[in-house]
Amino acid sequence: MNYYLEIVAGSIIAGMLLFILIQRNLTINNHFTNNTQTTVLQRNLTEIANIMDFDFRKTGYRVTDSIKISLAGKDRITVRYDANNDGVVDSVSYYLEGAVTKSNPSILYFFRKVNNEKPVGLNMYAKSLKFNYYDVNGKETTFRSRIRYFKVTVIVESPVAVDNQFPMSYWEKIYMPRNL
């Protein structure tokens, strides 16, 4: 009889140890997945920032009229500058549109549109794209001709949930183009 009790007790202890090991493995896997998703998000955010830097620093370059920002919306912008240094003023727009996945419908494709060409999806996505515009005194303005600098805020979120949460990353930057 003692023999059976020892087998039952040993089986219970082995089962508990196995359960602890499985639980620990799941925790490590979730942590690894979360870190991987966050790294991908940060890489995407860095790419978005680099592309925006290229355009926003040149805003107003070789624009002879007063309209250097032709669209100043809360969630989209169109800046004007001579991109090719050929004397022709180009316009570049940034905005979010169209849900990326059904698993996370709150993220949208990130688009960049040059002149009247077809918008180019940057193969990146974001949850939020926000612009704030400021005049020479640092007060928020909605008048395009008064804008002297602007702030961009981007929030990216993973399309894949980890522990029922979507990893996210945040970036913001103030642009003070010389030609505004």
| pLDDT exceeds 80 at position 1 | no
Residue 143 lies in a domain: yes
pLDDT (mean) for 93-104: 89
Residue 4 within any structural domain of the chain: no
Helix, strand, coil percentages for the chain (3-state, nearest 5): 30, 35, 35
**Any domain includes 88:** yes
- Residue 116 pLDDT greater than 80, yes or no: yes
* CB of 107 closer than 8 Å to CB of 129: no
Residue 172: per-residue pLDDT: 97
Q: What is the pTM of this model?
A: 0.85
Q: Which domain covers residue 138, as residue numbers?
A: 10-175
Q: Structurally, how many domains does the chain consist of?
A: 1
Mean pLDDT of the chain: 93
> Is residue 168 situated within a structural domain?
yes
Q: Is the residue at 146 inside a domain?
A: yes
pLDDT of residue 178: 94
Looking at the domain assignment, is residue 71 inside a domain? yes
Query: Angle at CA 20, nearest 5°, toward 16 and 22?
Result: 115
- Write out the two tokens for 21: 């090991």
